[in-house]
Every structure is written in C-alpha cells, then in structure tokens.
Chain A
Amino acid sequence: MKAERVVRGCFALSLAASVGLSLVYLAGGSRAWEGVLLAAALGGIAVGFILWATRLIDAPDNVEERREQKPGEGLGLISEVLEQSVTGVSRRKVLAGLASGAAASLGAALAIPSLSLGPQPGRSLFRTLWVPGIPAVDSEGGRVRPEDVPLSGIITVFPQGSEGAGDSQAVLLRVAPDLLSLPEARASWAPQGCLAYSKICTHAGCPVGLYRAQARELLCPCHQSTFDVLTGAAPVFGPAVRPLPQLPLAVDEDGYLVAQGDFSGPVGPSFWNVTQ
C-alpha cells in the first residue's frame, strides 16, 4: 500500500532529523539548523500522523444523541440537597446576610494590603527634582555653559546629582535670541537663547528625542507629536495637547547654566487633575 509507505518514510525522516538535531547541538549549536531540523523532526511526525488518520484508517461516521437541556429542568435534585443547609434555621435571611457580610469584609480586609504596591501619588506628579539654583548637567554629570549648547542639536540634561532621573530629564537647545517669541512671563527663562523643555512627551510619555533644527521643532517619535520650540514648545502637530513644560534657566557667576526652579507645569502624560 502506497500511503502506508509514505507514512513509514515520514517517521523515518523524523527520526533522522532528531538524530541530526542532537548532533548539531553537540557540535556547538546553530539557530538556523536547530530550527530546520526540529521542524523536520516534528513535520515528519505531523505528516505521518495526519496521513495515518486520513488515508490509512477507514473510520465510519459515528452518531451520538444529544440530551436536550430544558430551562429549569434538572435542578430539583440539586436543590433538594442544598435545602438541607437551612433545615432547623429559623431566620434564614439574617443568617445568610451576616455570613455574606462577614465574607465580604474579610475579602476587603485582605485586599487592602495591595495598597503597599506603590506610594500614594500625592504631589509627586506635579514635581520634579529641579530646584532653584541647581546646575543642569549632561548624562555624564558635566556642567554646561551656554556656548556649549549646539545650535543644530540637543543635549539631554538632568539636575546635578540625579543623572538619568526619568521625570526630570530635559532637552537643552539653543536658538538665536531674537527669534524667540516666548510668553511675556518667560522672557528671562532663556539666557543667550538657551531653552530647556521637559523631554517627556505630554501625550504618552515617550522621550521627545528628535530635533528638526531647520524648522525649530521637537518631534516625538512615538506618535509624531511636534512642538515649536520658539513659542514655548506649543504642540503644532500630532495627538499631544499640552506644551512641553519649560525649565526656567539662568547663568551662574561661573558662566554655567542652572535652573531658576521647577518646570512650568507637570511633566509627562496628562491625568485628570493636571494643571495646564
């Protein structure tokens, strides 16, 4: 019989592939050969079994009757047993109520420790580590002078001592001061045209890492929100709504950039009581 010979061949092939697989492993392994030989070993078994089932077996159709489930039927026997729990109880409702009350409050009491999973958010969403006078440093901890800031690129800066801090990261860039049209109150925030904005996108929190120096726009790669750096990082395209909060900068006696204080608003994605 032909089909039977094919099935035998499949199993034999699988066997050989398995031996090969072990040899490849012992010889040091190779991702591609391991995959191919494993596939051959399994594939041989697969084709073997499928042909066995479909070609070799002459299985007749069986017929099985269903037992129809009518609504409401078949609960008499169970409720008869269940009823035993309330024989000899005079005020069932009270008893059942108290028992479920006890169970529910136990459940609640046991769920409360899940509060240890994290701190109360409190004011932390409104604050970062920037404080008045703290130097802005790059990821290596080096202080930055306005002249060090390139006109065509960005530097990521942190408050000194917290290099790498997720919520305090800011992009630092420089433009010619006469191009700026910042809001009135921020006139003194950009010494020598140096601007610092929160690097966390106000949409979904991705780092806003791309700078189109020609257009003077910061671009978030996640969903393409685009921010105009000259006007205080107001969004000009994409799903972000709030501008990137700005970090007020100043230059200290030694000529290095420091923060005048915290960002102009809460950084990162919006939440229900975010301040605009």
Chain B
Amino acid sequence: MIRYVESRLGLDSWGRRALRKVFPDHWSFLIGEIALFCFIILVATGTFLTLFYRPDAAVVTYEGPYEPLRGQEVSAAFDSVMRLSFEVRAGLVMRQIHHWAALVFVASTVVHMCRVFFTGAFRRPRELNWIVGFTMLMLALGLGFTGYSLPDDLLSGTGLRIGYSALISIPFAGPYIASLAFGGEFPTENVISRLFVLHVMLLPGLTIALLGAHLAILWRQKHTQYRGPGRSESNVVGKGLWPYQALLSLGVMALTAAVLALMGGLVQINPIWLYGPFDATTVSAPSQPDWYMGWLDGATRLFPPWEPTVFGVTIPSMFLPAVLLPGLFFTVVALWPFIERRLTNDAAEHHLLDSPRDEPGRTALGVAGLLFFTVLTLAGGNDLIALTLDIQVESMTRFFRLAMFVVPPVGGALAYRICRQLRDSREHPLGRGSGVVLRRTEQGGFEEVPRS
C-alpha cells in the first residue's frame, strides 16, 4: 500500500521528514488539539442530525410519543427535532453529544487562545495565525448561535429575538440590517431556513478552510517551545510525529470523544420538550443562553436604563452592551499582537515561550479580561442567583454593577504582584523546589533553614 502510493507520488523523503516532524511535548499544546477533535466530532454527529432535521417553519400538529405536547401546533422544524429525540434510535444521544461537543469546542478554543496569549505565542512571526485563530473563534460563536436556534423551541426563539433587537439597535443601518437578516420584522418565517444554511454549510465550510490554513501555517512555522536545556530560538526540541505524537493525539482524540459520549449519554442538555415550541407571545423564565453568550446577556442586564437622543438619533439601550461592548472587546483581542508590539517596541521573532510570570503586565491584563468576562457571565444569571440566595434581583444587579468595575482591576493588580514575586523568587508555583537552604551555625556546623 505504502509502496503503491510512493511509486505514484514520490513522497519518500518528504514523508520521512514529515513523520519525523518535531512536536515539543507539553500538555498545554494539547488544548488546541482538543478543539480540533471537538470540531471533528461536531461534523460527524452533525451530519447524522442533518439527515433527520427539517429546516421548515410550516405549522404541523405534533403527534409523536411525547404525551404532554401531543396535539399541539408546532413548526415542522421543532417536530423533526422531537422525532429525532424520541423516535430515531440513537438520535437523542447524537443530539446531546453534538450539543456538548459544541460547548466544549468553544471552551477549548478559548482556553487554547488563553494559552497562546499568556505564553506570548502570538508574537512575530505568528501574528497571522493569531488572526486566523481569532476568526475561527468568531465562526465558532456563529455556529453555536445558529445551531442553538435551529430546534425552534421557546428558548432558542428568545435568543433570536434578542439577536434581532441587538441588530436593529445599530444607529442608521440597524433597521435595514435586521430586516435583511431576518427577511422582515421579527418573527419571520424565513429565519429557520437561513440559519440552517449558515449552520450546516457556510460557517462550517469557512471553518474548515481556516482550520486548514491554521494547521498549514503552524506546520510551516514550526512549533513554539518552552525554555529548557538545549532549547533555543533557533531550534525545536521534542518528540517526532511518528510514533509518539501521533499515538498520543489519537489517544487524546478518543478521550475527547469518550468524555463527550459519556456526557451525551448521561447528562441531559437542551431538553426542548420541556421548553415547548416557539411561540411569539410567551417566553420561558428564567432563560439561559449557552455559556459563551451569557456575558452579553449579563452586560445587557447591568446596563442602566439609558437611551440618549443625540441630534435626533436615539442610541438604543441594547446598542452599548450588546453591540459596542463585544465589538470593542473582540477588536482588542484580534489586534493584540500588534498592540503589544506597539507598546513594547519588540519586533523580534520569538519561538521560545514566556512563562506568564515573565510578563506581569500582559498576564495582569489577561487576568483582568477574564475576570471581566466572568463577572458579566455571572450577572447573566442574576435572577437565578437571587432566587437561590433569596436576595432581591435589584440588589444583585447593583452588586454586579460594582463588581464589574472593581473585580477586574483588583484581580489584575493581584496577578501583577504574584507574577513579580514568582519571577523574583524563581520558584515554580506548583512544583516544589528540590533543594534546601543550609546555614552555617555558630558552632561551625550546618543546619537547614526552615522553608517559609
């Protein structure tokens, strides 16, 4: 078999080099791989789902085996997801694996980006790949949002509705953009079929193309590596692709799939039969979006009731928290390699990674950004938190408004100090130092200095 291919393509020497390609061995390099594997699992399970899903808003009567909804008028889309969940064998487990994989996909992408950020792996010459990766994150969010909306249940309808009001809030162009995107005033009939095309064709197609580019650039530029004996800016030290890295990656892929299968089988997610079909006149309370959207929901909740009119132009209260805030946040993230280069005047090539403590400023900023995101995400559940703690929603909102401004800078400053201390003490926060400090005693002997 190998000989057959070789005699036609002449790949012997290239193949040998490729199989020997060096991959530095560190667990943090596997996070990006997990994102890749999630995507593969999403394509596989998604293909299965597509065979049963109907992107159709036509009204039908539900007549399936789920008693409480029988006889209700639902959309054909909702009906098909119900059939997939209750009547298609292995349908429900596939759907749940798909949803869990989507959540883990975005999560591992974000963690991978954090790794790249905190270790400075985005610096020259890898700015380009940062942009490619960032674009894939945007696509992943788009995929998540469109996919969430496809079952046409009550919860997804709420998400769409809020998306519509965010679009319409854009000054001047908003009403036009919203009308073009939704095919008229919300709710419209065409939206399901449009979301479907985006979700199964355009967005995954773009993702696959960018994924190819991401990996090709990585291959061409070679891996970054952490500092260590024998490692320098001009070499890469690590295990070869075959057999070590290949077997390890296969193992991690199977492990990712195994965990997702376990969650898909045992942990219920998005039970649309409990939410019921979409209905323009009702909303499920409390409604929670998928985790990566929660921060925008939180920002919307915290924003004060303020809708100024400037020169006859109203700035809707959705515009700042739901459009401008994420817009600015993501712009800074996307352009970070260039911003940092400006700030530090460091245009040199870097292949050795920083430890987060080496760059206290960058680490502090990253920590502050993550805390900002966390506070807003928690604020997105303020009604749930208020309910559990038996506090007024109003006071929760006030608390989070304060936290949003206080927590990130304080956390950032704390991170800055810790980094400085670690850097000066040269101690690893997790690994214990192996040596002990000896002190000469007055009698001329030695004694151990107790570690503080």
Contact = CB atoms under 8 A, between A and B. Distances in A.
Interface of A: 25, 28-29, 31-36, 38-43, 45-54, 57, 59, 61-66, 68-69, 114-115, 117-121, 124-125, 139, 156, 164, 166-167, 169, 199, 203-207, 209-210, 221-225, 235, 237-242, 268-274, 276
Which of A51, A114, A221 is packed against the most chain B CB atoms within 10 Å? A221
A62 to B, nearest CB: 5
A40 to B, nearest CB: 8
A66 B222 contact: yes
A45 B233 CA distance: 37
A117 B235 CA distance: 53
Given A271-B175, A272-B313, 15 more contacts: A31-B265, A38-B93, A46-B257, A62-B240, A118-B180, A119-B179, A125-B185, A204-B318, A205-B162, A207-B281, A222-B162, A224-B397, A239-B301, A268-B165, A271-B168
B81 to A, nearest CB: 15
Given A65-B234, A239-B300, A270-B318, A167 B22 contact: no
B120 to A, nearest CB: 17
B173 to A, nearest CB: 9
27 contacts: A45-B251, A50-B255, A53-B247, A57-B243, A62-B238, A63-B237, A69-B349, A117-B181, A118-B181, A121-B178, A164-B280, A166-B185, A204-B165, A204-B166, A206-B161, A207-B280, A221-B285, A221-B286, A224-B393, A239-B304, A239-B305, A241-B306, A241-B317, A269-B316, A271-B175, A272-B315, A276-B309
B3 interface: no
B75 interface: no
A31 B168 contact: no
B303 interface: yes
Interface in B144-171: 158, 161-162, 164-166, 168-171
Contacts of A65: 234-235
Which of B185, B306, B313 is packed against the most chain A CB atoms within 10 Å? B185
B166 A45 contact: no
A121 B162 contact: no
A118 B158 CA distance: 21
B239 A59 contact: yes
Interface of B: 20-22, 89-90, 92-93, 96-97, 125, 158, 161-162, 164-166, 168-172, 174-176, 178-187, 222, 230, 233-240, 243-245, 247-248, 250-255, 257-259, 261-266, 280-287, 297, 300-301, 303-307, 309, 312-318, 322, 349, 351, 383, 393-394, 397
Which of A49, A65, A156 is packed against the most chain B CB atoms within 10 Å? A49
Contact of B158 (A45, A206, A239, A269): A206
Nearest to B232: A66
Contacts of B174: 271-272
Contacts of B281: 139, 156, 164, 169, 199, 207, 209
B22 A240 contact: no
A238 B394 CA distance: 8
A245 to B, nearest CB: 15
Given A45-B251, A53-B243, A207-B282, A39 B262 contact: yes
A272 B172 contact: yes
A117 B186 contact: no
Given A29-B90, A169-B280, A38 B305 contact: no
B141 to A, nearest CB: 18
B186 A166 contact: yes
A269 B316 CA distance: 8
Which of A32, A39, A235, A242 is packed against the most chain B CB atoms within 10 Å? A39
B236 A66 contact: yes
Contacts of B313: 272-273
Nearest to B263: A35
Given A39-B259, A118-B181, A167-B185, A54 B383 contact: no
B280 A64 contact: no
Nearest to B165: A269
A9 B305 CA distance: 63
Nearest 8 interchain pairs by C-beta: A35-B265, A221-B285, A49-B251, A269-B165, A50-B251, A270-B316, A46-B254, A46-B255
Contacts of A199: 281
A35 B93 contact: yes
Given A43-B254, A66-B235, A204 B305 contact: no
B314 A270 contact: yes
Contact of B307 (A42, A206, A238, A241): A241
B442 to A, nearest CB: 48
B445 to A, nearest CB: 43
Nearest to B233: A66
A121 B188 CA distance: 13
Nearest to B171: A272
Contacts of A221: 283-287
Contacts of B259: 39
B236 A269 contact: no
Contacts of B251: 45-53
B427 to A, nearest CB: 26
B22 A272 contact: no
Contacts of A42: 254-255, 257-258, 261
Contact of A57 (B182, B244, B265): B244
